[in-house]
Amino acid sequence: MHRGSLVVLDAEGAVTFAAGAVDRPILPRSSNKPVQATALLAAGWSPRSAQELAIGAGSHNGEDGHRGVAAAMLAAAGLGPDDLGCPPALPQHEATKADWIATGRAPERLAMNCSGKHAAMLSACVAARWPTVGYLEREHPLQQAIEARLAEAAGEPVTAVVVDGCGAPQHALSVTGLARGVLALVQAGEGTGERAVADAMRAEPWFVAGTGREDTDLMRVVPGLLVKGGADGVHVAALPGRGAVALKLDDGGDRGRTPALSAGLRRLGLADQELDRWLRTPVSGGDGVVGEVRPGAGLRD
């Protein structure tokens, strides 16, 4: 059993379904990135393409195209990969990682899945004339702006700030607050920073995640859907005119995330055929499939 918390909001932000402790603070991890990106725009960052904005709100695979866009963002700001505060990493994309290992290529900061966010943060610092050195410190004006923006969008205070895996501050919110913030992006009017982030992510979903990733594939299959996963069993999705879903699995695993998310999306009116690939996660045994992870009865009702 994968237990946790899941909330469904309607298009006006009212809770229509809740399971678990949906008002308890959690660490949304990378699911906070779409709202974080709106703070970077407000600071003066002007992405040159939807790809740059999408990767600035994304968690990419480290594929060649991902690293290329992140590097170009840094160059446009007069910076380079050594200015990134995220740690060096191998690409998450299996084929790319295998090639790097086979050729003896060392981990790089650009390959880290958060390098797009960090390149966007640095670009915002340059635009706002804030120092780039120390841009990950909580007291830095960029991080203060991000913290305030997350609280505003969630409609609740940030209850804790810790250090995320990429070295940036990570802000605790409830799954309800997480859902509110992402819903506001897809419901925002044309010409706003919130809508710009939502539109870029949906127009360029490969730059949000990458080849074989559920966020990318879901946004390609379901028109208008905005999806962003986070480490430790977190996921959030929103659909304009329908509402939003956010969840956190207590065990922090990935196996039950997409079945739970899909069950929540069904409550927004999405059809089973749109979600068929994600409603059940196969469980392998030997040379075949011996079982499946599927939504519990409480989510299926």
What local confidence, expressed as pLDDT, does residue 158 receive?
98
What is the average pLDDT across 83-91? 98
To the nearest whole percent, how much of the chain has pLDDT over 70?
99
What local confidence, expressed as pLDDT, does residue 84 receive?
98
What local confidence, expressed as pLDDT, does residue 299 receive?
84
Q: Which residue has the tokens 């390098």?
A: 115
202: domain CATH number is 3.40.710
What is the average pLDDT across 66-76? 98
pLDDT of residue 241 exceeding 80, the answer is: yes
What local confidence, expressed as pLDDT, does residue 63 receive?
98
pLDDT of residue 74 exceeding 80, the answer is: yes
What is the average pLDDT across 190-203? 98
Q: Please list, in sequence order, all residues whose beta carbon lies within 8 angstroms of the beta carbon of residue 34, skipping any fewer than 6 positions away.
A: 57, 181, 182, 185, 197, 198, 201, 226, 228
**Closest by CA position to 11, among listed 156, 184, 152:** 184
For residue 93, the enclosing domain spans 4-300
pTM of the predicted protein model: 0.96
What local confidence, expressed as pLDDT, does residue 273 receive?
87
Q: What does residue 236 show for φ and ψ, rounded to 5 degrees?
A: -140, 145
End-to-end CA distance of the chain: 17
What is the average pLDDT across 270-280? 91
- One DSSP character per residue, 164-223 reads -TTSSEEE-B-HHHHHHHHHHHHHSPTTSHHHHHHHHHHH-GGGTS-TT-HHHHHHHHST
pLDDT of residue 301 exceeding 90, the answer is: no
Q: Which residues pair with 7 in a beta bridge?
A: 18, 246
Q: How confident is the model at residue 212 (pLDDT cuts 50, 70, 90)?
A: very high
pLDDT of residue 300 exceeding 80, the answer is: no
Q: How confident is the model at residue 298 (pLDDT cuts 50, 70, 90)?
A: confident
Rounded CA-CA distance 185/162 in Å is 25
What local confidence, expressed as pLDDT, does residue 252 receive?
95
3-class DSSP state for residue 48? coil
213-232 pLDDT per residue, tens: 999 999 999 999 999 999 99
What local confidence, expressed as pLDDT, does residue 194 receive?
98
pLDDT of residue 138 exceeding 90, the answer is: yes
Chain centroid to CA 273? 24
Which stretches within the chain are classed as H helix? Answer: 33-42, 50-56, 64-76, 94-103, 115-128, 141-154, 175-187, 193-203, 214-221, 257-266, 272-279, 297-300
Number of domains in the chain: 1
Rounded CA-CA distance 213/219 in Å is 10
To the nearest whole percent, how much of the chain has pLDDT over 90?
95
What is the average pLDDT across 23-45? 98
What local confidence, expressed as pLDDT, does residue 163 receive?
98
Buried b (16+ CB within 10 A) or exposed e, 147-170: bebbbebbebebeeeeebbbebbb
172-194 pLDDT per residue, tens: 999 999 999 999 999 999 999 99
